[in-house]
Amino acid sequence: MGNKGTGNESANRNEGTDGLPVSLESCLLDLRQAEETIRQQQRLLYQSEAQHNLLFDSLDEGFCTVEVLFDNADQSIDYRFLKVNGVFEAQIGIENPLGRTMREIAPEHEQYWFEMLGRIALTGKSQRLEHWANALERFYDIYAFRVGDPMDRQVAILFKDITARKRQEELQAYLLRLNDALRSLSDPIQVQDVVTHLAMEYLGVDRCYYCEIEEGNAIIRRDAFRADLPSVANVYPLSDFPILSTVINAGHPFVVFDAHTTELLDDRLRQLCLQTQAISFVDIPVIKDDSPCGILCVTCCEPRKWRKEEIELARETAERTWIAVEQARAAEALRESEENYRAIVNQSIAGILKIGLEGNMLFTNDQFCRMLGYEGAELLAMHVNRIVYPEDHERNAAAFHGLVSEGRAYEIEKRFVRKEGAIIWVNNHVSPIFNNKGEVDAAVIVSIDITRQKELERQKDEFIGIASHELKTPITSIKAYGQILAAMIDQSSVPPTFTQLLAKMNAQIDRLIKLIYSLLNTSRIAGNQLTLQLEPINLNGLLEEHVRQGQLTTSRHRITFIGEELPPVMADVERMGQVMDNLISNAIKYAPKGGDVIVRAESRGGRVRVSVRDFGVGIPKEAQEKIFDRFYRINDASAGGTSGIGLGLYICREIISRHQGQMAVESIPDEGSTFYFELPVYTERQ
């Protein structure tokens, strides 16, 4: 506008009608004004340019304007830098580019770039792209567009060095691929196979392998290699391959750019590398707990300047390989141990069953299925009560309750019902399984089929029953004859030995009768035929009487009775006498050196407790329950080879339990034992 205004004024003031200057003065004036106008325009131009420069210089992206150079056939062959901003040099790594051409600066710059810029200069079509520039060794994000007169063939380029981001992305992608590939692998050798191939492809190397270090050897199980190279999979003693020892000793990535020239190798190692065409390589030792576990090796047949990120990637790969190999190994070991365990469990002659706390079956072995005649799947869908014989439910539930509430293992003999309805006897050892909080989580049952033993036992009981019954009548007669004989003898007319022998015979007959009655009682108990004549009695009198009788049989022991006022109990006098005889005679028998025997009776809140204490050989802890079993005896020299058949305590406990009472023992070996039982006090309401 200023321009226009000045022009009009000059027309008005200095020009004549024919357009010529009217005077020199006015001419000079015009000249000065024109000069001023030019200066003003230059100032404006300068300001605008300065503003542009300021703008470009403040960009954090690189910016340059280039003139694209073409050959005669209009093929773009080079470009010249016309203008660059402040960060240009930092982003592109070229110093003083102005006025120079790219071919001058980097002759190996790829053709691709010249073609692209030529296309933009000719067509005016701008382009946005991310691309690798080999000569500059960088990745660029570029926006290029034509500027100025198309005839000038100038292109402006806005660009950013994204090498770090790109490498990070590539690394991430590689690690993702590696992880994906490794996730599904459970074989350590396969792991090595996959890793080496992936790393070889990604790093563009000629060979990649992972050696496992085991007992002084480097073992390469799988390797990846260029088609024209041989595999190096083998076992190498570390002592024969000093390069591996060198890597292990280095303890960190061992990087060789060029085996011909590196100072890292001595002559011997250099020769070795050259022979095996390992011209440049990165070897990563994997060291765990101060001992070497593996080495990952990536090798090229040409010199190579390994970048920091490549070394880092190899290190990361080595670490992941080790982890994956270890995991695969652990999984393999677990699988093997599971197979072993499965084989043992399934070949066991015992049935094995795992049940949840609700009684649901969780696991059965083959033998358990065979014992019950069910398929495994059928059992797993059932509650355990379906296979327990109904009469044993209550006993079973009580024992299981103890396991759940107190974590107590137990042993039980009970019956199972097979699928087709047959009943089998089993001996079950039931143990708790605890969770990691220490709570009972489930139970494992080891079950042995004892049906056959039970049948043999039944036959034995039957035999004992018949035999003792058949023996009872003749022996009773013999006892009577003996007593008659003893009464008939005129002691003065027979020699003294005769009388002594008769007395001994009668004593032996008494022992025999006792024995036969024990056997008879046992078979009665087994056949549930032990009958009781119950009546309310006071135990004090009975106890005193049996203490007195017991004392008659020994001169080495002193048997004392300590009683108190007792309430009555409901009892069979004869059976209770039998119990007391047994306990007192045991106290005498198992205290062979003599000493005190104390029989005590006391009333304890609704129960009467009777105990027999001796100071004899005592009973080891592990036998204290077993002595109440049929025919169980402790073979201990300290008892002085006492005679007996191990039925006394069994019968005693049965008698007491038929009286609704309990019998037990407390004992310390070499100090003595206290056998006791408790009976409920009799009340009128009973």
Residues in the site for ligand ADP, rule: CB under 6 A? 586-587, 590, 614, 616-617, 619, 627, 632-634, 639, 644-650, 673
Q: How far apart are CA 29 and CA 10, in angstroms?
A: 9
- CB closer to ligand ADP, 37 vs 624: 624
The answer to whether 207 touches 226, Cβ cutoff 8 Å, is: yes
Per DSSP, 350 falls in state S
Q: How far apart are CA 374 and CA 385, in angstroms?
A: 14
CB of 452 to ligand ADP, least distance (A): 26
CB of 540 to ligand ADP, least distance (A): 22
- CB closer to ligand ADP, 174 vs 676: 676
- CB closer to ligand ADP, 359 vs 594: 594
CB of 619 to ligand ADP, least distance (A): 5
CB of 448 to ligand ADP, least distance (A): 25
Per DSSP, 318 falls in state H
CB of 504 to ligand ADP, least distance (A): 21
CB of 585 to ligand ADP, least distance (A): 8
What DSSP line would sit under 149-180, residue for residue? -GGG-EEEEEEEE-HHHHHHHHHHHHHHHHHH
Query: In 450-526, which ranges are E strands?
Result: none
- CB closer to ligand ADP, 178 vs 627: 627
The answer to whether 233 touches 210, Cβ cutoff 8 Å, is: no
Distance, C-alpha 463 to centroid of its chain? 55
Q: How far apart are CA 515 and CA 518, in angstroms?
A: 5
CB of 457 to ligand ADP, least distance (A): 17
Q: Strand pairing partners for 131?
A: 140
- CB closer to ligand ADP, 537 vs 634: 634
Q: How far apart are CA 59 and CA 48, in angstroms?
A: 17
The answer to whether 536 touches 568, Cβ cutoff 8 Å, is: yes
- CB closer to ligand ADP, 633 vs 659: 633
- CB closer to ligand ADP, 546 vs 633: 633
- CB closer to ligand ADP, 304 vs 633: 633
Q: Which residue is nearest to ligand ADP (CB)?
A: 644
- CB closer to ligand ADP, 208 vs 627: 627
- Side chain identity at 636, as an amino acid letter? D
Residue with tokens 């901003």: 85
CB atoms within 10 A of CB 290: 6
What DSSP line would sit under 509-530, residue for residue? HHHHHHHHHHHHHHHHHHTT--
Query: In 274-417, which ranges are E strands?
Result: 280-288, 291-300, 351-356, 361-364, 410-417
Straight-line distance from the first to the last Cα atom of the chain, in angstroms, rounded to the nearest whole number: 133
CB of 472 to ligand ADP, least distance (A): 19
The answer to whether 578 touches 651, Cβ cutoff 8 Å, is: yes
Q: Strand pairing partners for 281?
A: 256, 299
Q: What strands lie across the sheet with 662-668, from one edge to the other?
A: 557-562, 595-604, 607-614, 672-680, 662-668
Q: How far apart are CA 328 and CA 108, in angstroms?
A: 47
CB of 533 to ligand ADP, least distance (A): 24
The answer to whether 652 touches 579, Cβ cutoff 8 Å, is: yes
Residue with tokens 């006394």: 648
The answer to whether 345 touches 431, Cβ cutoff 8 Å, is: no
CB of 645 to ligand ADP, least distance (A): 5
CB of 648 to ligand ADP, least distance (A): 3
Q: How far apart are CA 96 and CA 84, in angstroms?
A: 9
CB of 671 to ligand ADP, least distance (A): 11
Handedness of CA 326, 283, 221, 223 (dihedral sign): positive
- CB closer to ligand ADP, 451 vs 624: 624
CB of 336 to ligand ADP, least distance (A): 48
CB of 411 to ligand ADP, least distance (A): 19
Q: Taking Cα atoms as reference points, which of 632, 628, 619 lies closest to residue 590?
A: 619
CB of 686 to ligand ADP, least distance (A): 30
DSSP3 helix / strand / coil % (the chain, rounded to 5): 45, 25, 25
Q: What strands lie across the sheet with 138-147, from one edge to the other?
A: 76-84, 62-70, 154-161, 138-147, 127-133
- CB closer to ligand ADP, 465 vs 616: 616
CB atoms within 10 A of CB 208: 26
Q: Taking Cα atoms as reference points, which of 84, 60, 89, 65 lies closest to residue 157?
A: 65
- CB closer to ligand ADP, 65 vs 518: 518
- CB closer to ligand ADP, 223 vs 461: 461
- Side chain identity at 647, as an amino acid letter? L
- CB closer to ligand ADP, 356 vs 595: 595
What DSSP line would sit under 542-557, residue for residue? HHHHHHHHHHHT-SSE
- CB closer to ligand ADP, 89 vs 581: 581
Q: What does residue 220 show for φ and ψ, rounded to 5 degrees? A: -105, 115
CB of 507 to ligand ADP, least distance (A): 18
The answer to whether 133 touches 109, Cβ cutoff 8 Å, is: yes
Q: Strand pairing partners for 414?
A: 426
- CB closer to ligand ADP, 364 vs 521: 521
CB of 658 to ligand ADP, least distance (A): 17
- CB closer to ligand ADP, 220 vs 579: 579
